[in-house]
Chain A
Amino acid sequence: MNANAQRFRRACEAKAFDRNHRAIVAKNTATYHAAVARGLARFADWETARRRAAAVKWEVMNHLDHYLEEFERNVRATGGHVHWAETAEEATQIVLSLARQHGVRKAVKSKSMVTEEIHLNPALEAAGITVLETDLGEYICQLRGEPPYHIVTPVMHLNRQQIAETFHEKFGTPLDATAEELAGIARERLRAEFLAADMGITGANFAVADPGMIVLCTNEGNARLTTALPRLHVAVVGIEKLLPRLEDLALFWPLLATRGTGQFLTVYNTLVGGSEPLHVILLDNGRTQLLADVEQRDALHCIRCGACLNACPVYKTVGGHSYGTTYQGPIGSMITPHLRGWPDWSHLPYASSLCGHCADVCPVRIPIHHHLLHNRRNAVRQRLDPPLQRWMFRVWLWGVQSARRYAIGGRLARWAMRLGLAQPLARAWTRYRDLPDPPREAFRDWWRKHERA
């Protein structure tokens, strides 16, 4: 087992029966599910909406070259700048060189998973630039020195008390501060920073090809301040974020808000058009590898709403930090091997009960759990499966290809279980669960006796 898989396993062992963690996540996801139920009720026909959205995304992904160039042309035509980055390192270098050119010492950031993906904050800090997260959740993550726990709700794993403790440690605020007071403290501290910052860094919820604009959705208005106040705005955008036309937002805005938080629309929806201070960095970082895989290309339809995480029994059990990935939960387990390499990440597609709840809630109809199956097959094709397991399946296949061998094998297994001989093999099962009592005869034995009688 590789180091990542071992680390994942240890993290899961530590979290799975942490009742405190489970209670907080259960409470937060229950609030979310209630809001989503109300949100879905606002759609006349949710199924048609997601089919339409999937069709739009299909069109983009299958003509991505066209839409990316159209986007670039349109941003440039109105005075903005477009940079192309094949890797995380390239994207980071572009940000750093822009910062140098503009004499940047302080940067503010609006919430962005793609900048987590390229590890931008440590790179900026190493270059002597102060970076401040301005989304409240991300701000709390930054104060605690933790990565986001969830792609939409970064501190879903914390309750008010834990956040109050963090603020108390950092700022000496009262331990019994209310949520409103905590938000007030953050707002006060952040306002000054917005005004002092030289550079605003954002991702993009969407990038519209015509006209060339990036779209930012926040509930706190922090993206507006991040893009408007500093003299330079750099947006790091994954190439899968493209939408063809402005009209598509009429569908994608409510789709994202409904599945993201249960809101009909996110509170602040900001369009940033090509203008002098805007620099868009279009990032590949493995995405074109996924694009080349026709079978799984639709994983690039993902609009990062986080719904599959909230639906996932595994995510809710092990928590967002256990994955060790930028993108957690079902979609993360699906895309991470593609983006970051199979040998190190092929354990993630196996960490799923394949319940399929993720695919049911996905607003762009990505069959995530089927892709997890494809990933498992791909891992086996690359011989990343444990040799013992491969050998066991070969023996098993030989056994079940004959009803006679199968019946003998079954009888031996039941006999071994009755005598307790199977216990060492069944330890993984019996640590928490009992095994059924093995019956003396199989159904086929009963049938043979009764049908002959």
Chain B
Amino acid sequence: MKVALFIPCFVDQFYPEVGEAMVAVLRRVGVEVCFPAEQTCCGQPAFNTGYWEEARTLAKRYCDIFDRYDAVVSASGSCTAMVRNFYPELLGELRRASANTFEFSEFLVKKLGVTDVGAKFPAKVTYHDSCHTLRELRIKQEPRALLRAVRGLELIEMTEAESCCGFGGTFSVKFPTISSAIDEVKCQSIVATGAQYVVSVDSSCLMQIGGWLRRRKLAVGTKHLAEVLAQT
């Protein structure tokens, strides 16, 4: 099976290791991957700020690039929600690329039927449900199933796994105090688990959570699910 990778802009620019890990995991389970070099941004920042005309231009661009593939695997639940849930409303039509874009954990579990990718990561981790992954895509069990199959990994649920981290795209800089106060509550919930790592399928949440933890030198690392699954 050959799939196209969609590496959203900020993962591409700030978290290249997430994309690299995705490539490693997908190849390990026998998927042939390609990276259409024309891709840039799905348009979500513009869409969420109210600039639907600008977002529409990028939505069309995304579909023109990815329409030819049978499946597109994305490194972000949030960007997948943008493409799959919001493009039809934005474009007034359902494009092939929109229906065929999948979030990474969803693709492994639902499309390939794989939960054990042969990973080994001896650490205590807690999983953060990113809002768009949980409430737009309804993905909750898939990442957890993948984590439970990792050798040596202990998954500890936090009390507020489903609570927002406060990132919210441009919200995080338009209302930085509100955003950070929400972040603090989330991080208290994470730290209380005693986990060494907080894992998510959205690097944007991890940037928000990691930004708070690191400023306060709290000893919890952040990892994208793909980075955990890439460890052997």
Chain A interface residues toward B at CB < 8 A: 9, 12-13, 16-17, 22, 313-314, 317-318, 350-357, 359-360, 373, 376-380, 385, 389-390, 393-394, 396-397, 400-403, 406, 410, 413-414, 428-429, 431-436, 438-439, 441-448, 451
CB-CB under 8 A from A393, the residues of chain B are 45-46, 49, 51, 54
**CB of B220 closer than 8 Å to a CB of A:** no
Known: A401-B57, A439-B16. A17 touches B181 (CB 8 A): yes
In the bound complex, do residue B164 and residue A353 qualify as a contact, i.e. CB atoms below 8 Å apart?
yes
Q: Does A16 contact B177, Cβ atoms closer than 8 Å?
A: yes
Closest Cβ of chain A to B15, distance in Å, is 7
Q: Which residue of B lies closest to A314 (CB)?
A: B178
Please give me the 9 A-B residue pairs with the lowest Cβ-Cβ distance, nearest first.
Answer: A353-B168, A433-B211, A376-B50, A432-B180, A380-B50, A443-B19, A355-B164, A16-B181, A356-B135
Q: List 11 A-B contacts (CB under 8 A).
A: A17-B181, A22-B181, A313-B185, A353-B168, A397-B51, A414-B13, A428-B176, A431-B176, A434-B214, A436-B14, A439-B15
- Report the minimum CB–CB distance from A228 to chain B (whole Å): 44
C-alpha spacing A402/B57, complex, angstroms: 12
CB distance A313 to B58 under 8 Å? no
Instruction: Name the distance in Å between A366's Cβ and chain B's nearest Cβ.
Output: 14
Q: How far is the CA of A75 from the CA of B25 in the complex (A)?
A: 68
A432:B131 contact, CB within 8 angstroms: no
- CB atoms of B183 and A433 under 8 A apart: yes
Q: How far is the CB of B219 from chain A (nearest CB, A)?
A: 14
How distant is the Cα of A102 from the Cα of B19 in the complex, in angstroms?
75
Residues of the A chain whose Cβ atoms lie less than 8 Å from the Cβ of B174: 350-351, 428
Give the size of the chain B interface in residues (CB under 8 angstroms).
65
Distance, CA A410 to CA B14, complexed state (A): 9
Central interface residue in A355, A441, A442, by most chain B CB within 10 Å: A355
Identify the closest chain A residue to B166 (Cβ).
Answer: A353
Q: Judge whether B7 is part of the interface by a CB distance below 8 angstroms.
A: yes
Q: Does B35 contact A (CB under 8 A)?
A: yes
> B171 an interface residue at 8 Å Cβ cutoff?
yes
By the criterion CB–CB under 8 Å, are B175 and A397 in contact? no
In B33-85, the 8 Å CB interface with A consists of 35, 37-41, 45-52, 54, 57-58, 61
**Is B200 an interface position by the 8 A CB rule?**
no
A12: contacting residue among B45, B49, B135, B178, CB under 8 A: B178
Known: A16-B181, A377-B50, A389-B49. Contact between A444 and B171, CB under 8 A?
Answer: no
B135 touching A447 by the CB < 8 A rule?
no
**CB within 8 A of B168: which of A354, A396, A433, A436?**
A354
Which of chain B's residues has its CB closest to A394's CB?
B54
CA distance A80 to B19 in the complex (A): 69
- Chain B residues with Cβ under 8 A from A451's Cβ? 35
Once A433-B212, A442-B16 are accepted as A-B contacts, the answer to whether A356 and B136 lie under 8 Å apart by CB is: yes
B50 surroundings in chain A (CB, below 8 A): 373, 376-380, 385
Query: Chain A residue with minimal CB distance to B176?
Result: A428
The contact of B135 among A317, A359, A413, by CB within 8 Å, is A359
Q: Judging by beta carbons under 8 Å apart, are A434 and B178 in contact?
A: no
Q: How far is the CB of B217 from chain A (nearest CB, A)?
A: 10
B35 touches A444 (CB 8 A): yes
The answer on a CB contact under 8 Å between B135 and A357 is: yes
Determine the residue in chain A with the shortest Cβ distance to B211.
Answer: A433
Q: How far does the alpha carbon of A71 sit from the alpha carbon of B10 in the complex, in Å?
A: 55
User: Which has the most chain B C-beta neighbours within 10 Å: A378, A379, A435?
Assistant: A435
CB–CB A436/B211 < 8 A: yes
For the complex formed, measure the closest distance between the CB of A245 and the CB atoms of chain B, giving whole angstroms. 33
Is the CB–CB distance between A442 and B46 below 8 Å?
Answer: no
Contact among B35, B58, B169, B184 for A447, CB-based, below 8 A: B35
Query: Is A433 within 8 A of B180, CB to CB?
Result: yes
**Given A379-B50, A439-B16 in contact, is the A403-B38 Cβ separation under 8 Å?**
yes
Q: Among the listed A354, A378, A413, which residue makes an inter-chain contact with B131, where contact means beta carbons less than 8 Å apart?
A: A354
B7 and A354 contact, CB distance less than 8 A: no
Question: How many whole Å from B200's CB to the nearest CB in chain A?
Answer: 14
Please tell me if the beta carbons of B131 and A400 are within 8 angstroms of each other in the complex. no
Q: Let me know if B176 and A429 touch, CB within 8 A.
A: yes
Per the bound structure, the CA–CA distance linking A160 and B177 in Å amounts to 28
